Structure 1
Amino acid sequence: MKIEIWSDIMCPFCYVGKRRLETALAQFPHRDTLDIVWRSFELDPTMHTKPGQSIHELLAERKGVSVAQGRQMNEHMAQIAREVGLDFDFEHMVPVNTFLAHRFLHLAAKHGKQNEAKERVLAAYFTQGRNVADLDTLTELGTELGLDATEVRTALASEAYAEEVRHDEYQARQIGVRGVPYFVFDDKYAVSGAQPSELFLEVLEKVWEEKHPAPVVLASGGACGLDGSDC
């Protein structure tokens, strides 16, 4: 079974949704057979880093509210994150354009490290206050995952993997993705948003059962039960 997930690094619900999916996967007996693919989606491709601007100020600017209200909204989001074991540090987050980080994830995918890279970049942004649009930062994160530092730096300093990011975003438009996270199970069922773990588990079981239907019993009788009672 393949699960494709469109998400952005700066999207807090994307990290929460990742944790809720992982909770469901922990209860899914066939989790080791899954192929999870992270797809790129930029909430704001035109985003430019403003030196010194806090995430509270950015949210207030985007929502047309006061900075105090922006802070309250982020505090509410932090509470939601804590419910799934995440400690968001909104005071130190660095708002950035995420295109370079998405390219980094495609590079990691080439080496079979995309899922680990996704977790590392999200943690760096949401909990460690690191600049995930910085070449040095991404190179360091890559080496932590066992990637070659020279390869990471050379690839990200060029236009490598830019086409892959744009292709993911093209696919998102084709299937009508309007917000993230957006989960697609085996090209058949979609779940939009950071839904409860119970819903993810329900979808996983449904897709698995459809791919591996139980045999239809056309006749019964003349057989021994497991406890021997019918013999």
Structure 2
Amino acid sequence: MKDLTVDVYMDTSCPWCRMGTTSLLAAVEQLPPDAKATIRWHAFQINPGIRPEGEDYSRVMIGKLGGAAQFEARKKQYNQYGENYGLTYHMERVKYTPNTVLSHQLIAIAPEQLQAPLIQRIYAAYFEEGLDIGDADVLAAIGGEVLSTDASELKVRLTQGEGMDKVEAGQRDAEQLGIRGVPYYVINGKVSLSGLQPPDELMRWLVQSA
């Protein structure tokens, strides 16, 4: 079985992307021992117009969904779907819709082998702990924990714009591919899958694409 490359377009404030990340990693674990899958993570902002300091989560979501009742229903949906992937969502703790550029920068500057655990930690910080993942101090602390790096040094690197070239490249690629929603997967540069996919479905496409 030949090696696989999976390009994943995702956002750190996207509940479905968190499930999609877990699903993909589970699918990769099921690959035959002789198969190697390289996952490349690309930035996509689901709320690109959010101010750098973030905005009120309830207000943003009520505006998107058309009302408070729809918003409450959607939060329950996240909880229910998340359970299918072994994930916990505490949406009542989420107060901010963050600008996710800094979080994507942090992922971009992380060593490749630590990007997946870093992404999972950022998701947990936001969806379980309600932390503001648009805040440089919060992200530097997360990065310091996962990457075993000095948090103050990471904050400087983020605020100076390190990794921004990769973030912008990911967003340009997403635009060229016509991506309108995430998660979005491209397997070996030829098979494109949009939206949340269960592990078995992803596994099927991975094997077919090898």
Q: Same fold (TM over 0.5)?
A: yes
The SS at the match of 1:91 is helix
What is the TM-score normalised by the length of structure 2? 0.90
The SS at the match of 2:110 is helix
> Which AA in structure 2 matches 1:205?
V
Hey, what does 1:72 align to over in structure 2? 73
Hey, what does 1:212 align to over in structure 2? none
Q: What is the percent sequence identity of the aligned residues?
A: 28
Q: What does residue range 122-201 of structure 1 map to in structure 2 within 5 Å?
A: 122-145=123-146, 146-201=148-203
How far 1:31 moved relative to its partner?
Answer: 7.8
Distance 2:107 2:145 in 1: 14
Q: Give a deviation string over 1:77-115, Cα, whole Å, max 9, x none.
A: 211011111110101113211111111110114x64211
Residues 140 and 155, structure 2, Cα contact 8 Å, conserved in 1 = yes
> Which AA in structure 1 matches 2:125?
A
How far 1:58 moved relative to its partner?
Answer: 2.4
Residues 7 and 181, structure 1, Cα contact 8 Å, conserved in 2 = yes
Q: Per the alignment, do residues 32 and 122 of structure 1 end up closer, same or farther by CA in structure 2, a change over 3 Å counting?
A: farther
Residues 6 and 180, structure 1, Cα contact 8 Å, conserved in 2 = yes
How far 1:32 moved relative to its partner?
Answer: 6.4
Q: Per the alignment, do residues 168 and 129 of structure 1 end up closer, same or farther by CA in structure 2, a change over 3 Å counting?
A: same
Matched, 1:81 2:118: no
> Which AA in structure 1 matches 2:199?
S
Distance 2:30 2:163 in 1: 34
* Structure with greater helix share of residues: 2
Hey, what does 2:64 align to over in structure 1? 62
Bigger-Rg structure (1/2): 1
- Deviates most, 162-171 or 144-153: 144-153
Greater relative contact order structure (CA < 8 Å, 6+ sep) = 2
* Unmatched 5+ stretches in structure 1: 209-231
Residues 56 and 74, structure 1, Cα contact 8 Å, conserved in 2 = no
What is the TM-score normalised by the length of structure 1? 0.82
Q: Give a deviation string over 1:111-138, Cα, whole Å, max 9, x none.
A: 6421121111111111111111111111
> Which AA in structure 1 matches 2:138?
T
Distance 2:9 2:34 in 1: 20
Q: Per the alignment, do residues 22 and 112 of structure 1 end up closer, same or farther by CA in structure 2, a change over 3 Å counting?
A: closer
Residues 57 and 70, structure 1, Cα contact 8 Å, conserved in 2 = no
* Unmatched 5+ stretches in structure 2: none
